Amino acid sequence: MIQVDTLLNEFVAFEKVLESQEIGNGNINDTYRVVLLMPNGNTAEYILQRLNHQVFAKPFQLMHNQVSVAKHLRQNKRYPLQIAEPIPTFKQNWLHVDASGNHWRLFSYIGNSFTPEGLVDPACVREAAHAYGTFALALSDFPVELLHETIEGFHDTDRRWNQFMEILKYDKLGRTNLAKPEIESILALKPLFDQISKLKKTLPVRVTHNDTKAGNILFDRITHKALAVIDWDTIMPGTVLSDFGDMVRTFVPNMPEDAPASEITLRKDVLNALLEGYCEATSGFLNSAEEEHLFLGGLWMTGEQAMRFLTDFLEGDVYFKTTQPMHNLQRTRNQLRLLDMLQTL
Tens of pLDDT, residues 96-118: 999 999 999 999 999 999 998 88
- Report percent pLDDT > 90 for the chain: 90
Backbone angles phi, psi at 38, to 5 degrees: -90, 165
Summarised one tens digit per residue, pLDDT across range 225-256 is 999 999 999 999 999 999 999 999 999 999 88
Per-residue pLDDT band for 181 (boundaries 50, 70, 90) equals: very high
Give the residue range(s) of CATH 3.90.1200.10 domains in the chain: 122-342
pLDDT tens by residue, 34-69: 999 999 999 999 999 999 988 899 999 999 999 999
Asked: is 4-109 a CATH 3.30.200.20 domain? The reply is yes
Report the alpha-carbon distance of residue 281 to residue 230 in Å, rounded: 18
Average pLDDT over residues 163-168: 97
Read off the pLDDT band of 259 (50, 70, 90).
confident
- Give the per-residue pLDDT at 258: 84
**Measured CA distances, 311 to 168, 213, 242, 315 (Å):** 9, 21, 19, 6
pLDDT higher than threshold 90 for residue 195: yes
pLDDT confidence of residue 1: 59
Could you write out the three-class secondary structure of the chain?
A: CCCHHHHHCCCCCCCEEEEEEEECCCCCCEEEEEEEECCCCCEEEEEEEEECCCCCCCHHHHHHHHHHHHHHHHHCCCCCCECCCEECCCCCCCCEECCCCCEEEEEECCCCEECCCCCCCHHHHHHHHHHHHHHHHHCCCCCHHHCCCCCCCCCCHHHHHHHHHHHHHHCCCCCHHHCHHHHHHHHCCHHHHHHHHHHHCCCCCEEECCCCCHHHEEEECCCCCEEEECCCCCCEEECHHHHHHHHHHHHCECCCCCCCHHHCCECHHHHHHHHHHHHHHCCCCCCHHHHHCHHHHHHHHHHHHHHHHHHHHHHCCCCCCCCCCCHHHHHHHHHHHHHHHHCCC
Contact 237, 147 (CB under 8 A): yes
The matching CATH number, chosen from 3.10.105.10, 1.10.760.10, 3.90.1170.50, 3.90.1200.10, for 122-342 is 3.90.1200.10
CA 330 to CA 309: how far, in whole Å? 9
Which of 50-59, 78-87, 239-248, 334-343 has the lowest average pLDDT? 50-59
Higher pLDDT, 20 or 24: 20
Query: Do residues 233 and 29 lie in contact, with contact meaning Cβ atoms separated by under 8 Å?
Result: yes
Checking if the pLDDT of 25 tops 70, the result is no
- Span 282-325, pLDDT tens digits: 999 999 999 999 999 999 999 999 999 999 999 999 888 899 99
| pLDDT, mean of residues 250-275 | 91
Average pLDDT, the chain: 95
- pTM of this prediction? 0.94
Confidence of residue 26 (pLDDT cuts 50, 70, 90): low
Q: How far apart are CA 134 and CA 340, in angstroms?
A: 30
